[in-house]
Chains A and B, each alone.
Chain A
Amino acid sequence: MTANAVVNGLLLGGLYALVALGLSIVFGVLRLINLAHGEILIGGAYLAYVISEHLGIGPFLALPLAVAAVAVLAYLVQRFLLTGLLVRGAEGALVATFGISMLVQGVFSQEFSSTPKALTSSLSTSGFTVAGVQVRGIYLVAFLVAAALCGAAHLVLTRTRAGLAVRAAAADPATAGLMGIDIRRVYAVTFAVSAAVTAVGGVLLGVTFSFTPDAGIPYLVIGIAVVVLGGVGNVAGTFAGALLLGLVQSLAAAQFGGGYRDLSVYLLFFVVLAVRPRGLFVRRAPA
């Protein structure tokens, strides 16, 4: 039973890495906690749901369309609303994302009612058993996608010119702007790409679990917990933190019962905030 909890916890952690990656990048580069992050996630799932209903295709074929739509919307929101607010200070933008969260949740309830929806795929029910450990197929897919996306994000941020521009904008926006980097564009593109990654996570989440209009908020907190564990803007740390969180949650649920699944996340979050507020995997305090 423990082996089961460990393996499934780690795989669930892969899903949490997808939930947290976009949040971590936006927090690291824009210095903004995006309170509408959960709604972007659930929005990806709802869009995939609508597309697969209308076109009669499976959720994985609907995924690219849903992700593209979320990215375009996110680009526009960042370019025409959030960047202008960020210039004035972090608080206005934080409150604006809270407003977006409310607005989008309202639209979800209006369109889809509060009955849980799910993306149906053969993967969500299929599974296999390795050495006595039962694994759902979608968990494994989500884990592999998460590992690939985290690896890709790490490579883009560290090995490309675009990644260099993003890191420069994160470290010192004013100086980066003087060096000819268009900060507004970097912010908008970063936000859009993060939203796209988040939407991928949302679609996989929708295949794994059912979702409701207000399902985003708990995932926002899971994402924040992962970011706090892994260190802000640290892609490798995010992946490691997500695995740790999935593991803790799974073990807590196996040990104390399902009611403690969420409570364990919040407790871990507080302990880390109190003891190591810069994250578990940071050796030196960044300047």
Chain B
Amino acid sequence: MTSRLTALLRTPDHRWRLWPGVAAFAVPAAIAAQSTSAFTAYQLDIATTLLAFIALAQAWNILAGYAGQMSLGASAFVGTGAYSAGLLEVHAGLGYGPAVVGAVAAGVALSALLAYPLLRLRGDYFAIGTLAAALALQAWAVNWSFAGGSTGISLPAAGVPGPVEVFQLACAVAAIAMIAAYLVAHSGFGMRLKAVRDNEPAAVGLGVPVFRHRLGALLISGGLSGLVGALLALQQISFEPGGMLGLGWTINALLMTIVGGIGTVLGPAVGAVVVYYLLTKQLESYQTASVIIEGALLIAIVRFAPRGLWPLLIRGAGRLGTLLPRLAHPLQKDAP
């Protein structure tokens, strides 16, 4: 039954085909990007932030979920992207197109720089090393007068697109992140990455070059986070180290991915909607309460549903799917 339903979506050897997944992300993104006139500026801003969070959570998911490298340095990559874009616009006089490309390059470069001291070590050193990198970059940006010191950067008016263009860019960024996650999840590279995560000695024994795969995941994640940083810079127009290099990005990326479902393609998107739209946004005027609730939610998820909400929903739906036919035909209950 299920096999006949999904036959079109699978290859002859029962692996999932790539195009339905790509279409599933690209079509809604394209529709949303075209129907901007239906939204007010405020709604566009919220949607842009949500899409940025989806992309950021996905970037974190590729590193933490698929490569098993728990990073606490998401803010370092976001801030590097935002500052690179900002500095390129302010000091090099570039438009926002090249600035965005520069931000991606900066995110990749930071990943490469951090890979040498951090990737060779046990996983928990990686977590704490990325945290130190994030704090170090923040402390540096505060002292760096070229980048505006503690008052930060304001983008020149010529380098800032309108809210509609920023929203369309956000759609593209989120789509790129989702497609990247899909490719990582279903490619040979992703399979080997998961093998390294689940059983490193076995993966080494089968000839998987561990360092190169982790480095690949880190570079992809860093480039995506840099892209998100550039998007946030264009959205916020002016920013300072406290916000753009602050731990908030790290907390949100981790929270959204783990709440939604770490190591799944759709989980981070679900988590971003739950955490940003259903929690942070609704509790906007009670900020401490929302931090307390989010912390409690994180503990509860880790304790009681470590795979996250999305797999929980899927499993619930699957159970319902097997339960309902049984209820309809109670006599066949014991049939094999």
Chain A residues contacting B143 (CB-CB under 8 Å) are 259-260, 263
Cα A220 to Cα B127 in complex, Å, equals 12
B216 within 8 A of A: no
B211 within 8 A of A: no
With A102-B251, A102-B291, A263-B136 known to touch, is A96 a contact of B142 (CB < 8 Å)?
no
Cβ-closest chain A residue relative to B297: A99
Separation in Å of the B235 CB from the closest CB of chain A?
25
Separation in Å of the B72 CB from the closest CB of chain A?
8
B89 within 8 A of A: no
Is B127 touching A33 in the complex (CB atoms < 8 A)?
yes
Partner of B132, one of A31, A104, A221, A274: A221
A92 within 8 A of B: yes
Name the prevailing secondary structure of the A interface residues. helix
**Those of B113-152 within 8 Å (CB) of chain A:** 116-118, 120-121, 123-125, 127-129, 131-133, 135-136, 139-140, 142-143
Cα A188 to Cα B304 in complex, Å, equals 21
Chain B residues contacting A218 (CB-CB under 8 Å) are 135
B47 within 8 A of A: no
A107 within 8 A of B: yes
Interface string of A100-129 (1 = CB under 8 A from B): 111111110110000000000000000000
B11 within 8 A of A: no
A277 within 8 A of B: yes
Separation in Å of the B333 CB from the closest CB of chain A?
34
Interface string of B281-322 (1 = CB under 8 A from A): 000000011011011111100110010000000000000000
B254 within 8 A of A: yes
Partner of B123, one of A91, A103, A262: A91
Partner of A106, one of B116, B127, B133, B288: B288
Chain B residues contacting A107 (CB-CB under 8 Å) are 292
Cα A92 to Cα B302 in complex, Å, equals 6
Cβ-closest chain B residue relative to A277: B121
Chain A residues contacting B116 (CB-CB under 8 Å) are 274
Cα A182 to Cα B298 in complex, Å, equals 29
Cα A277 to Cα B136 in complex, Å, equals 19
Is A221 touching B125 in the complex (CB atoms < 8 A)?
no
Is A277 touching B125 in the complex (CB atoms < 8 A)?
yes
Cα A132 to Cα B300 in complex, Å, equals 56
Is A94 touching B299 in the complex (CB atoms < 8 A)?
no
Chain B residues contacting A110 (CB-CB under 8 Å) are 288-289, 292
B203 within 8 A of A: no
Interface string of A154-188 (1 = CB under 8 A from B): 00000000000000000000000000000000000
Is B295 touching A102 in the complex (CB atoms < 8 A)?
yes
By size class, the interface of chain B is 35 or more
Interface string of A67-95 (1 = CB under 8 A from B): 00000000000000100110010111011
Most chain B beta-carbon neighbours within 10 Å: one of A106, A221, A225, A267: A106
Separation in Å of the A36 CB from the closest CB of chain B?
10
Cα A25 to Cα B24 in complex, Å, equals 49
Cα A260 to Cα B140 in complex, Å, equals 8
Is B294 touching A263 in the complex (CB atoms < 8 A)?
no
Is B296 touching A103 in the complex (CB atoms < 8 A)?
yes
A239 within 8 A of B: no
**Those of B247-306 within 8 Å (CB) of chain A:** 247, 251, 254, 258, 288-289, 291-292, 294-299, 302-303, 306
A270 within 8 A of B: yes
Chain B residues contacting A109 (CB-CB under 8 Å) are 288, 291
With A217-B247, A263-B143 known to touch, is A96 a contact of B117 (CB < 8 Å)?
no
Partner of B303, one of A81, A270, A273: A81
23 contacts between A and B (CB under 8 A): A31-B124, A33-B128, A35-B127, A81-B303, A91-B123, A95-B254, A96-B298, A98-B254, A100-B299, A105-B295, A106-B291, A106-B295, A224-B131, A259-B139, A260-B143, A262-B135, A270-B117, A270-B132, A270-B133, A270-B136, A273-B118, A277-B120, A277-B125
Query: B residues near A, CB below 8 A?
Result: 68, 70, 72, 116-118, 120-121, 123-125, 127-129, 131-133, 135-136, 139-140, 142-143, 247, 251, 254, 258, 288-289, 291-292, 294-299, 302-303, 306
Given contacts A91-B70, A269-B132, 4 further A-B contacts (CB under 8 A): A95-B254, A110-B289, A221-B128, A266-B132
Query: A residues near B, CB below 8 A?
Result: 31-33, 35, 81, 84-85, 88, 90-92, 94-96, 98-107, 109-110, 217-218, 220-221, 224-225, 228, 259-260, 262-263, 266-267, 269-270, 273-274, 277
